[in-house]
Amino acid sequence: MTDRYAVIGNPIAHSLSPRLHAEFARQCGQDIRYEAILAPADGFADAVQAFRRAGGKGVNVTVPFKVAALELADRHSERARMARAVNTLKFDDDGIFGDNTDGVGLVTDIRDRLGVDIDGRRVLVLGAGGAARGVVLPLLEAGASSLIIANRTPERAVELIAPYGVRAGLHAGGFGMLGKHEFDIVINATSASLSDQGLPLPSGVFAAGSLAYDMVYGKGTTRFLADASAQGAALCCDGLGMLVAQAAESFRLWRGVMPDIAPVMAMMQHA
């Protein structure tokens, strides 16, 4: 019997998830149907429950419902709990399980596709919204020697790392705190690139040979990536690989089989 999955968000028409999961299913010989559901701003829980009653097995969750998904789940992975956001729900006999695959998607893309080691590296994350929250624990677990979260509104960055307590190498604040520090990996988790805005970073942030990673995808060379390249970043990359890898991790959670990311990434880049 065909198992049903969906992505729920608002807006949702732009979502690439149906295409990604159709490709994973074809590759892995899995009989699934994956659709996109537009939920009204105040109707997320109703939309999820209706889909579940209709036989749905799980959903991906996107903007603006990742916190609502955390509240809806009965059980959570540690990475979802620490992120305080859920992007994947799995329905089973024990209720609703909530996970967050965004961070592992980012780490997989940086380490496996780009070939950049995170272990022992100095990492800077710009932004303190949902995307930044999802990547802190996976970056720490990947062995970052230091992890700085810098945000336009400094208090949000400080609040973001509060659940981790005092931890060597983990700091948060505004862009001004970056001073003369340099980093091996600089990740733009702000939404500034969506409106083609740059970020007020001090010069010297990008260490020689560093990676500049913009989570935004489909925008070509963003101002952030252009500035990074001009300031000496050796490798500049957008967030398409993170998108594909987080989707693959959701697929693995639901179906128990990990798709091969590389051919799907190649297909998406070509498209």
Question: Which residues are known to be catalytic?
Answer: 66
> Are 187 and 135 a contacting pair, CB within 8 Å?
yes
> CA 117 to CA 129: how far, in whole Å?
25
> CA 216 to CA 93: how far, in whole Å?
36
> Are 72 and 96 a contacting pair, CB within 8 Å?
yes
Nearer to ligand NAP, 46 or 155 (CB): 155
Asked if 135 touches ligand NAP (CB under 6 A), the answer is no
Nearer to ligand NAP, 22 or 194 (CB): 194
> CA 140 to CA 167: how far, in whole Å?
10
Structure tokens at 74: 């009965």
How many binding residues for ligand NAP (CB under 6 A)? 27
Q: Which of residues 59-78 bind ligand NAP (CB under 6 A)?
A: 63
User: Which is nearest to 116 in space by CA: 231, 212, 220?
Assistant: 212
Cα torsion 59, 65, 69, 70: sign:
positive
Return the ∠ at Cα 194 (arms to 191 and 198), rounded to 5°: 75
Asked if 229 touches ligand NAP (CB under 6 A), the answer is no
Return the ∠ at Cα 201 (arms to 200 and 202), rounded to 5°: 120
Alpha-carbon distance values, 64 to 15, 39, 67, 134, 242 (Å): 13, 10, 8, 14, 19
Asked if 269 touches ligand NAP (CB under 6 A), the answer is no
Which residue in 191, 229, 231, 232 binds ligand NAP (CB under 6 A)? 191
Which residue in 8, 205, 215, 236 binds ligand NAP (CB under 6 A)? 215
Which residue in 43, 129, 204, 232 binds ligand NAP (CB under 6 A)? 129
Nearer to ligand NAP, 10 or 49 (CB): 10
Piece in contact with ligand NAP (CB under 6 A), picked from 8-16, 20-28, 127-135, 225-233: 127-135
Binding mask 138-157 for ligand NAP (x = CB under 6 A): -------------xxx--x-
Asked if 19 touches ligand NAP (CB under 6 A), the answer is no
Binding mask 97-116 for ligand NAP (x = CB under 6 A): -----x--x-----------
Asked if 250 touches ligand NAP (CB under 6 A), the answer is no
Structure tokens at 35: 């659709």
Those residues whose C-beta lies under 8 Å from the C-beta of residue 222, and which sit 6 or more positions away, are 188, 193, 196, 214, 216, 238
Asked if 161 touches ligand NAP (CB under 6 A), the answer is no
Least CB distance to ligand NAP at residue 104 (A): 11
Least CB distance to ligand NAP at residue 149 (A): 9
Give me the residues that bind ligand NAP (CB under 6 A), please.
63, 102, 105, 127-132, 151-153, 156, 189-192, 194, 197, 199, 215-217, 239, 242-243, 246
